[in-house]
């Protein structure tokens, strides 16, 4: 359990397991997870077991009692040291050279570190220098129970020149390396005397090192000045539980509101995806301005929506960040369930939003939602931070305090200060903490960790934990945790004569939706102040409300009758609303005689045209003009196509235009496109709605045809094979969509393909490659013949072939290497 890397992959023999357990990589990984006390134990065992012994005196065994004395352990801390020894024995970092096979430290007769661990711990364990077998103290017993080494050292220093003892004292507790003085005659004389008597060793011309035997004698046989048995206890302020929960509840409501605002904004205007992936600086700045937050907070909100699966890169051309179906479903959930989904995604996310705006190793500015912002160590660091806060309930720890605690927990793997600050800021924004202390919502994220079990978070990714709100899901527990700290809902609004209103508490879901549509928020806090303006009322009318509906809803939430100014404003804005109307249409049909158009809108055979009447003599449709004309002629109505100036357009020209727009494929049924109806567009939506049976029939017919077309495209030879003298071409395709599909299949299977590209001079080039990554309009592949990687722009790929022979080495043009420019 402590070292899972030893079992992956499964070793075949015990010899191979032992070799793997003592490898440098495995030992580095295991030592990085040890706390300060466990590292002290390893250093002490290494030092005590590495002391030279005289021929007449056998090597003194390293027992638990000797270890406790070397660590200067207080009696109350002895059980902690024994537990650390047991943990190291279980992890195969310590072993007993005696006869006992037990992991009980009391039964160990001679402790030793695992082979290879001395190299991992470094050249100066416990701040001690190397052993010197020729030292005058080499064979004197050293330890807290023996003062022979100290007596021998004192006898030697009795004749030492001035300054010798101060030099030794400066190096006693490490580091054991010092610079030999040159300008100071007294210091130079003292150093020369210490070197001559082997109390110092010369490591080079300028540096000296204190031997281990001398340092232990100076330390009184102790390896450490004190035992690091307990983590540091920062002097941080304490807050009442009510203050913590109130602050966390406010932050949780704010983050849900900000994410919902982002989804509404990107539903109306999806931002573009940068060529290298991510959100542009201008789009991030615009988002921050709209949300009325700073840019780091806006970046975190966007990252949170991405991690939860509420927004996604749609992969279209050009790509943009669009709201997913899960995002639309999320908007319909209660407040606690919405927050639970965000918290669950944040707990499992490896994203690093705090690095946005900094530059990477290549000097490139990191962008929000960039694919390369994930780090695998982030979830564990997040758990360590929350655990440190959970161990200190009610205490508001700063990032500096937490970093000090984490340094004790893993001295050899201290996290970056920027990461700690970023995660603490995220926890506060999400409502996991309040005023710097862990809230009940944060404690719900932590698993109760049994003895010996690995650390972990309560929740995982949304895909692994099921739908939000499902009974028994982790998100349900998180939702209950938030509900326990949320203030009660209020369903009343205090409307005032100056066109403002006050919500005295947390608004109910119905009141919140009403205010989002009909009012602008002026301030938030214990109460919410809103203002009614013509612009805010227009939003309510755009959402489908009438003046009477809006006044009725406001009156239902108001304690007092609505003020007359608000009544006048609502009715006046409603009277001006909708005078101009905008709709969507792709073609129209008009006639001098309205009788010619009678029955066309209601005709079931013409339902796929989505016809609706805009005037007695004009019908509009959501299909191209050529499709509309063909359908009318099939019904027996002769028609002509006219241009914007009213002149007749030839039918061949119309059809060629339609073919060019759809790429020569079948006519696109625009009635199935997503569209936004503005104003009173109900007739258009009703005409575009296909019944379920007809839609299934169309899809059932469409799928076989698409599959047949794909198979034909893969089997069809490229155009270059039409020459009589050309050799037969391999199986493959020159169609861009099919070529991208073959590349993705090769990436998944790890296969090689023959890639035909067009170089900057317009010449085709073939090479056998192994595709690695296909993203951002570029293919990254490995060229085995040249043992190099290359990057190719997708628009330069002319064909992909799956069973072609490898091209000759001289087929590639000069300069076609991994360093060749690509555009």
Q: How many helices (H) and strands (E) does the chain have?
A: 30, 26
* Backbone torsions φ then ψ of 524, nearest 5 degrees: -130, 155
Burial 380-408 (b: 16+ CB within 10 A, else e): bbbbbbbbbbeebebbbbebebbbbbbbb
User: What confidence score (pLDDT) does residue 666 get?
Assistant: 36
- 253-300 pLDDT, tens digit per residue, is 999 999 999 999 999 899 999 988 899 999 999 999 999 999 999 999
- 727-768 pLDDT, tens digit per residue, is 555 577 776 656 766 787 788 778 889 988 888 888 888 889
User: What confidence score (pLDDT) does residue 392 get?
Assistant: 92
Query: Per-residue pLDDT for 439 more than 90?
Result: yes
Residues 290 and 288: their CA atoms lie apart, in Å, by: 5
Encoded tokens for 374: 């994930």
Summarize the confidence of residues 451-473 as an average pLDDT: 40
Residues 266 and 269: their CA atoms lie apart, in Å, by: 5
Residues 805 and 789: their CA atoms lie apart, in Å, by: 20
The answer to whether 4-122 and 719-811 have equal CATH topology is no
Give the residues across from 415 on adjacent strands. Answer: none
CATH of segment(s) 4-122: 1.10.10
User: What confidence score (pLDDT) does residue 3 get?
Assistant: 81
CATH: 3.40.50.300, 2.40.100.10, 2.30.30.100, 3.40.50.1820. Which one for 719-811? 2.30.30.100
Residues 299 and 424: their CA atoms lie apart, in Å, by: 15
Encoded tokens for 329: 């479903």
Query: Per-residue pLDDT for 104 more than 70?
Result: no
- 577-630 pLDDT, tens digit per residue, is 877 777 778 888 888 888 888 888 888 888 888 888 888 889 899 888 888 888
Residues 75 and 734: their CA atoms lie apart, in Å, by: 79
CA atoms in the 13 A half-sphere facing the CB of 527: 10
User: What confidence score (pLDDT) does residue 758 get?
Assistant: 87
- What pLDDT band is residue 105 in, cutting at 50, 70 and 90? low
Domain ranges of the chain: 4-122, 241-483, 489-576, 587-690, 719-811
User: What confidence score (pLDDT) does residue 681 get?
Assistant: 33
Residue 782 contacts residue 772 (beta carbons within 8 Å): yes
- What pLDDT band is residue 352 in, cutting at 50, 70 and 90? very high
- 386-424 pLDDT, tens digit per residue, is 999 999 999 999 999 999 999 999 999 889 999 999 999
Sequence-ordered alpha helix ranges (H) in 365-523:
378-390, 399-409, 417-430, 440-443, 462-465, 474-483, 509-518
- 527-578 pLDDT, tens digit per residue, is 899 999 999 898 888 888 889 999 999 999 998 899 999 999 999 998 888 7
């Amino acid at each position: 359990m402590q070292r899972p890397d030893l079992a992956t992959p499964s070793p075949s023999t015990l010899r191979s397991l032992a070799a793997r357990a003592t490898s440098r990589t495995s030992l580095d990984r295991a030592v990085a997870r040890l706390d300060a006390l466990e590292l002290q134990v390893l250093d002490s065992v290494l030092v005590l077991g590495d002391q030279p012994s005289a021929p007449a005196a056998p090597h003194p065994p390293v027992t638990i009692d000797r270890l406790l004395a070397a660590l200067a352990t207080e009696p109350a801390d002895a059980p902690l040291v024994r537990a650390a020894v047991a943990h190291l024995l279980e992890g195969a970092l310590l072993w007993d050279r005696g006869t006992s096979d037990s992991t009980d430290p009391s039964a160990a007769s001679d402790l030793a570190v695992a082979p290879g661990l001395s190299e991992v711990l470094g050249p100066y364990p416990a701040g001690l220098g190397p052993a010197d077998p020729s030292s005058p103290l080499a064979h004197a017993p050293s330890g807290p129970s023996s003062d022979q080494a100290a007596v021998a050292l004192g006898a030697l220093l009795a004749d030492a020149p001035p300054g010798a003892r101060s030099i030794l004292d400066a190096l006693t507790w490490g580091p054991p390396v010092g610079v030999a003085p040159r300008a100071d005659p007294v210091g130079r004389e003292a150093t020369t005397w210490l070197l001559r008597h082997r109390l110092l060793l010369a490591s080079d011309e300028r540096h000296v090192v204190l031997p281990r035997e001398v340092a232990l004698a100076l330390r009184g046989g102790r390896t450490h000045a004190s035992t690091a048995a307990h983590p540091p206890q920062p002097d941080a302020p304490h807050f009442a539980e009510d203050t913590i929960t109130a602050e966390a509840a406010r932050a949780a409501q704010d983050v849900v509101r900000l994410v919902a605002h982002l989804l509404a904004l990107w539903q109306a205007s999806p931002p573009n995806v940068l060529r290298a992936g991510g959100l542009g600086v201008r789009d991030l700045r615009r988002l921050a301005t709209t949300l009325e937050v700073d840019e780091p907070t806006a970046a975190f909100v966007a990252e949170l929506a991405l991690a939860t699966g509420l927004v996604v890169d749609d992969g279209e051309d050009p790509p943009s960040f669009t709201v997913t179906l899960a995002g639309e479903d999320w908007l319909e959930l209660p407040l606690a369930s919405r927050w639970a989904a965000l918290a669950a995604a944040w707990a499992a996310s490896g994203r690093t939003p705090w690095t946005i705006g900094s530059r990477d190793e290549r000097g490139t500015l990191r962008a929000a939602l960039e694919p390369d912002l994930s780090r695998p160590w982030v979830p564990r660091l997040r758990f360590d931070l929350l655990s440190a806060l959970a161990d200190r309930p009610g205490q508001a720890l700063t990032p500096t305090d937490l970093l000090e605690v984490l340094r004790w927990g893993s001295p050899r793997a201290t996290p970056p200060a920027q990461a700690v600050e970023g995660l603490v800021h995220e926890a506060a924004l999400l409502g996991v903490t309040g005023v710097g202390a862990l809230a009940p919502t944060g404690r719900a994220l932590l698993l109760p960790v049994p003895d010996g079990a690995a650390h972990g978070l309560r929740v995982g990714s949304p895909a692994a934990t099921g739908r939000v709100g499902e009974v028994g899901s982790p998100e349900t527990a998180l939702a209950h945790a938030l509900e326990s700290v949320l203030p009660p809902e209020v369903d009343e609004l205090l409307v005032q004569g100056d066109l403002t209103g006050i919500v005295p508490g947390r608004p109910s879901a119905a009141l919140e939706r009403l205010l989002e549509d009909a009012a602008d928020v002026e301030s938030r806090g214990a109460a919410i102040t809103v203002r009614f303006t013509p612009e805010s009322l227009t939003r309510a009318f755009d959402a489908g409300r009438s003046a009477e509906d809006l006044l009725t809803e406001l009156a239902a939430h108001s304690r007092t009758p609505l003020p007359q100014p608000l009544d006048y404003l609502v009715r006046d804005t409603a009277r001006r609303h909708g005078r101009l109307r905008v709709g969507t249409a792709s073609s129209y049909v008009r006639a001098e005689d309205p009788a010619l158009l009678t029955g066309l809108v209601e005709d079931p055979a013409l339902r796929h045209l989505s016809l609706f009447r805009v005037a007695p003599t004009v019908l509009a449709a959501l299909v191209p003009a050529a499709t509309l004309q063909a359908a009318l002629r099939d019904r027996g109505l002769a028609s002509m196509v006219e241009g914007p100036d009213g002149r007749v357009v030839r039918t061949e020209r119309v059809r060629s235009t339609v073919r060019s727009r759809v790429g020569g494929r079948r006519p696109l049924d625009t009635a199935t496109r997503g569209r936004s109806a503005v104003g009173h567009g109900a007739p258009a939506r009703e005409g575009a709605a296909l019944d379920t049976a007809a839609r299934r029939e169309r899809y059932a017919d469409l799928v076989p045809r698409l599959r047949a077309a794909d198979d034909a495209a893969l089997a069809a030879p490229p155009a270059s094979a039409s020459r009589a003298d050309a050799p037969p071409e391999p199986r493959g395709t020159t169609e861009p969509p099919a070529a991208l599909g073959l590349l993705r299949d090769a990436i998944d299977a790890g296969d090689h393909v023959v890639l035909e590209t067009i170089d900057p001079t317009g010449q085709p080039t073939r090479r056998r490659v192994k595709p690695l990554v296909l993203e951002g309009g570029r293919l990254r592949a490995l060229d085995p013949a040249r043992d190099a990687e290359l990057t190719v722009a997708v628009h330069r790929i002319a064909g992909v072939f799956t069973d072609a022979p490898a091209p000759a080495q001289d087929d590639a043009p000069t300069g076609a290497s991994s360093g060749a420019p690509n555009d």
